[in-house]
Amino acid sequence: MGSKVSSSKAPGGSGAPASDEPTATVAVYLVRHAHALPREGWSGRDEDRPLTDRGVKEARALADHFETAAPSTRPRRAATRRREPRPTLLLSSSAERCLATLAPLATACALPVGIAEFLLEGSDPRSLLAKAKELAAAGGVPVLCSHGDVIWGVVELLEKSGAYLPGPVDVKKGSIWVLEVESGSIGSARYFPPGKV
């Protein structure tokens, strides 16, 4: 997915191209952290809760969802499933469960995981949407890991804005939302359930 090109439309929705300049649609990948130990029974700080065995498997499945080899070393595949493009940026909440969810992908792509406050649990989903648009404007393939409350807020805002959301609307642990940004606006988003583990 990464980015694709579409024609600009004239104002007023006539469907005629406004110019010969195509606009790129940039995908921003929003991941909910994988399964972590439950809050009940955990005596440490909530931010330190680790992934369960299932969560570790979900994190590995997330890495498998993307191309991870560098383009020059990528083997040619015959009739294999299409993967999402290789990430160029990984950002996460500071919670261990989010960092651990991105760890296999980070290792496979040889990328660091940056910590971003707009991805913290309880953050304003409008801030996340604004940052997603900024990241899309910069290009590349950003992958962001956050929490269920924030991602549900993003989905609700997208629904209210009239964005096209085909298929199921859910926010399961280990799942991915692909936010499709074109000309500074998120016109559609797709949901991928967590990989089977």
Residue 96 forms part of a structural domain: yes
Residue 179 forms part of a structural domain: yes
Residue 147 forms part of a structural domain: yes
CATH code for position 153: 3.40.50.1240
Q: Convert the pLDDT of each residue in 30-62 to its tens digit.
A: 999 999 999 998 999 999 999 999 999 999 999
Residue 58 forms part of a structural domain: yes
Residue 116 forms part of a structural domain: yes
CB atoms within 10 A of CB 184: 10
- Contact by Cβ (8 Å): 16, 40: no
Rounded Cα gap, residues 184 and 179, in angstroms: 12
Q: Convert the pLDDT of each residue in 60-110 to its tens digit.
A: 999 999 999 876 655 555 445 678 999 999 999 999 999 999 999 999 999
Amino acid symbol at 96: E
- Contact by Cβ (8 Å): 176, 62: yes
Residue 99 forms part of a structural domain: yes
Determine what percent of the chain falls in helix, strand and coil, rounding each to the nearest 5: 30, 30, 40
State which residues form the domain around 112.
23-36+47-69+84-192
Rounded Cα gap, residues 190 and 167, in angstroms: 7
- Contact by Cβ (8 Å): 114, 68: no
pLDDT tops 70 at residue 192: yes
pLDDT for the residue numbered 8? 36
What is the domain count for the chain? 1
Residue 77 forms part of a structural domain: no
Residue 138 forms part of a structural domain: yes
Query: The whole model's pTM is what?
Result: 0.85
